[in-house]
A and B are shown apart, each in its own frame.
Chain A
């Protein structure tokens, strides 16, 4: 663990848990159409760690992220962000939690075309009616390299730049945890590498916590840890992953998928 040069508090207790799932289940439908997306999943995401969730299509990796991030309801078990139990919160409190403690990065960027880059970055704070922390904001903007483009609207930016705006938006509110859903899915490999680099930097240098869902072994190799999901269960975990190692692990899912 590198100590953050900015003296972020998380450096003091590097092993604290940012989010935790305990026996988390998610079931869709009933009777014959019943599908178990998550089957009693238990997993921890530690602070200042970059975790990738991987697995074949339909393994439940996106569902896990949605449930952990308070975007989707849970059928059983518990999910916590910091000390907050999500499953007991009503919609209003859940919304506030997402607003104040969670940062999101989506595959489709999801910027508002009517707002400038800067306005998009500060949107969560505008929603909360809070003034952004100027110093932090400048640093975030510098980190993602958008200083010259803050007045631009999303349609004047390239895909990579748009996703960097999205990363900055997620970071700007100093969230306790950031969730990224296939953040490089719509980007070419160079832009993708840039965005992943920023995510890793935000963990290493700013002390952020990032959970990323991906099916790209190269993307996963930027993480500190990879969690593998299959059929709604956690089947494996890998520390300090490399792209090749992840690819090998994934190939085994494929083989199993084909034979079954």
Chain B
């Protein structure tokens, strides 16, 4: 049996080529994902372990489970504590560190790198006068308020040398610092493309915390002292609001976090790999169906001479096994290449990953082969079963029974029921899981229905096809000749396009919604904030308010509080100006004259707490003082503008640290580049502060969403490529099966061009059929998801991306044209005589 199957595989090499390629691509995606994620995971693990080489025990403030309601209780890691810890028996040295955000300006005053990865820290000289974490490559360590050291990568990037003056900013005001040294570091943030500036310890403490305090104390054990022993020694001298952790625990924690984030990335990549493989299933099934149909006589003969049904099925499955194994091996090799390629690709974009060897886990190899074989055999199972049903008598008949219409009736009923069920689930879905599940059922239902749908949809193309004369007419009819095959081919393309369209619709609508939310309720011309999303010093608002062009400003501050016993943050705004800076829709009362004990609240807060206009609220402020506030307005909130708003003058006395999340600014001359520059100058050309117009905010949102969408497009492209292979495969099969017809057409006078056109148009029709269905379903899912999304995003409204939908249909057409290149040429080259004689 095995030998027969193997011979069959070898005999049909060319016809199995597309199938092998399709499976191979899917497997390559899977194994590429596995290789890539395990490689970078391994690299990060190793680099994080290295990062904790200097730490045997770390002393940190005690984590109180995020209880922000009780500030003032922050632990103090003082120099005194550090000295005490350093004196613990078994401790070789102790290093105090303190750090945070530090924006560094390049020579043009622009921020280097991204806000979130720009950091600053202290240089803590050890016993030898040097900080082992930061070996200097040139110059010396910073000393005193006006000096800093820069990491070598950043210095290199901006072209700074020792002796240069660099403008940096930590929380608002710009500092001009002299670079005294350039150091190398194994800091993970820096190796991932961030920047690091070092100050001497007193300067860093002043900039980041309170003088004389550290945010962490790292202790190095003396030789022969274990981390655990050192920890228990240290624990004896620690105050109760501080805790100690061993270096191993820290490294393990980080390793776990890395593993978790890698798991997430791996899972999402594998989902897309799964989609590609699923699409591949259609191609495999098509191919094996054809191979079985062509071999009907042979299989019937096997049955006639005594092979059992099971043996016939098994022979088909063995063939599938061989195909799957070959494709699995090829896919694994390609996947290893993809994994290596991805790593160097990401390396070349600047955000470098730590170096490390390419990791090919045994599980990766097993998964790749297993996936290839299982998917192929699974897809070949139905054709195999059908092969077993061939009656022995078919060996004697010249014509074998074609698929009856009866089975299509059953098929259509099942398809209709599935589609209806899925659509019902989609339309009533209350969670994204339900929606996804329903969508999957609809897809399967529609797929089952495609043979039925193919006739009317393709018939609708008749008027266009007529323009192409007889080639068009024949192409249209050929496309519906084998509805199952056409359906499977078109469905393969449909799946990719459905997802692409659905995501585009949702992303476009979400973008519009977020945009509306971010800018719709904003009257201010500018929003000023820190690039790092940390807080702004209140100086910034003062400076802005003093600018001659500025007519109104308001900060946005938050302060934890309790109202009626419940946690409820208070948002501080400039009550006198906020009305000019925001465009809020009030359902009761208003924002005018927000001062004293007056507050405005959003409608959701109003509903959930049963607070009405005029309600009196008992408040416990951040500092524990009690007070009473009165609701003077209820506005329609959204994700950015919500909560309880109160005048800053009422809030400020109770806050331990007064700082601003952002400052809204209105100017006389409105939003313009010139005004923006002038505001930037007023703030001292600060690299850490971003001044955004509404347009900037919109652009930022669009950029983020487009980036995400482009990534998804990239991942789904694989599914489309596999679908293209499917179209090529189907056309090659059709050309092969219709050799005789093509020969006859050539004989009675259809030229090569006409033959080519016929094959190309058939391809176009099938692809566009898949395209139309995909775009249609995608829009349906996008629309259906709207209900669910608008619950979380109340400004959500369906936006149909007509332009992109057009592009997707063009893409489908392009797929058709490209896929037909080779089969059309083959058809035109067929030798007329052998084509006529072939039986």
Which residues from chain A sit less than 8 Å from chain B, CB to CB? 66, 69, 71-72, 91-92, 95-96, 98-100, 104, 106, 108, 110, 112-115, 123-124, 126-129, 169
CB of B60 within 8 Å of the partner chain: no
Expressed in whole angstroms, the Cα–Cα distance for A104 and B477 within the complex equals 23
- Chain B residues whose CB sits within 8 angstroms of the CB of A123 once the complex forms: 470, 745, 748
Contact of B469 among A69, A124, A129 (CB under 8 A): A129
Expressed in whole angstroms, the Cα–Cα distance for A132 and B745 within the complex equals 18
Which residues from chain B sit less than 8 Å from chain A, CB to CB? 469-470, 473-474, 477-478, 481, 740-741, 743-752, 754, 832-833, 836, 839
- 27 A/B residue pairs, CB under 8 Å, sorted by A: A66-B833, A69-B747, A71-B833, A95-B746, A95-B752, A98-B748, A100-B749, A104-B744, A106-B836, A108-B740, A108-B836, A110-B744, A112-B474, A112-B744, A113-B481, A114-B477, A114-B478, A115-B477, A123-B470, A123-B748, A126-B470, A127-B469, A127-B470, A127-B745, A127-B749, A129-B469, A129-B470
B750/A127 in contact, CB under 8 A: yes
- Chain B residues whose CB sits within 8 angstroms of the CB of A71 once the complex forms: 747, 832-833
B833/A112 in contact, CB under 8 A: no
Q: A108-B839, A114-B474 are in contact. Are A128 and B752 (CB under 8 A)?
A: no
B751/A92 in contact, CB under 8 A: yes
Expressed in whole angstroms, the Cα–Cα distance for A98 and B474 within the complex equals 20
Expressed in whole angstroms, the Cα–Cα distance for A115 and B745 within the complex equals 13
Contact of B749 among A106, A110, A128 (CB under 8 A): A128
- Chain B residues whose CB sits within 8 angstroms of the CB of A129 once the complex forms: 469-470
Q: A72-B833, A126-B470 are in contact. Are A112 and B741 (CB under 8 A)?
A: yes
Q: A71-B833, A110-B740, A110-B741 are in contact. Are A124 and B751 (CB under 8 A)?
A: no
Closest chain A residue to B473, Cβ basis:
A126
Closest 6 CB pairs of A and B: A99-B749, A114-B477, A110-B744, A95-B751, A126-B470, A127-B750
Contact of A110 among B481, B754, B833, B836 (CB under 8 A): B836
Expressed in whole angstroms, the Cα–Cα distance for A39 and B832 within the complex equals 23
- Chain B residues whose CB sits within 8 angstroms of the CB of A99 once the complex forms: 748-750
Expressed in whole angstroms, the Cα–Cα distance for A126 and B469 within the complex equals 7
Distance in angstroms from B740 CB to nearest chain A CB is 6
Expressed in whole angstroms, the Cα–Cα distance for A212 and B54 within the complex equals 98
Distance in angstroms from A172 CB to nearest chain B CB is 11
- Chain A residues whose CB sits within 8 angstroms of the CB of B839 once the complex forms: 108
B754/A127 in contact, CB under 8 A: yes
Contact of B481 among A72, A108, A114, A169 (CB under 8 A): A114
Apart from A92-B752, A110-B743, what 18 extra A-B contacts exist at CB < 8 Å?
A71-B833, A72-B832, A91-B752, A98-B747, A99-B748, A99-B750, A108-B740, A108-B836, A110-B740, A110-B741, A110-B836, A112-B474, A112-B744, A113-B481, A123-B745, A126-B470, A127-B470, A127-B754
Q: A114-B477, A126-B469, A129-B469 are in contact. Are A96 and B836 (CB under 8 A)?
A: no
- Chain A residues whose CB sits within 8 angstroms of the CB of B745 once the complex forms: 112, 123, 127
Distance in angstroms from B401 CB to nearest chain A CB is 12
Distance in angstroms from B484 CB to nearest chain A CB is 16
A98/B477 in contact, CB under 8 A: no
- Chain A residues whose CB sits within 8 angstroms of the CB of B833 once the complex forms: 66, 71-72
Closest chain A residue to B470, Cβ basis:
A126
Distance in angstroms from B702 CB to nearest chain A CB is 49
A124/B748 in contact, CB under 8 A: yes
- Chain B residues whose CB sits within 8 angstroms of the CB of A113 once the complex forms: 481
- Chain A residues whose CB sits within 8 angstroms of the CB of B749 once the complex forms: 95-96, 98-100, 124, 127-128
- Chain B residues whose CB sits within 8 angstroms of the CB of A66 once the complex forms: 833
Contact of A104 among B473, B748, B752, B754 (CB under 8 A): B748
Distance in angstroms from B761 CB to nearest chain A CB is 14
Closest chain A residue to B835, Cβ basis:
A110
Expressed in whole angstroms, the Cα–Cα distance for A124 and B750 within the complex equals 8
Expressed in whole angstroms, the Cα–Cα distance for A99 and B478 within the complex equals 22
B469, B746, B836 pick with most chain A CB within 10 angstroms: B836
- Chain B residues whose CB sits within 8 angstroms of the CB of A114 once the complex forms: 474, 477-478, 481
Contact of B748 among A72, A92, A169 (CB under 8 A): A169
Expressed in whole angstroms, the Cα–Cα distance for A169 and B836 within the complex equals 16
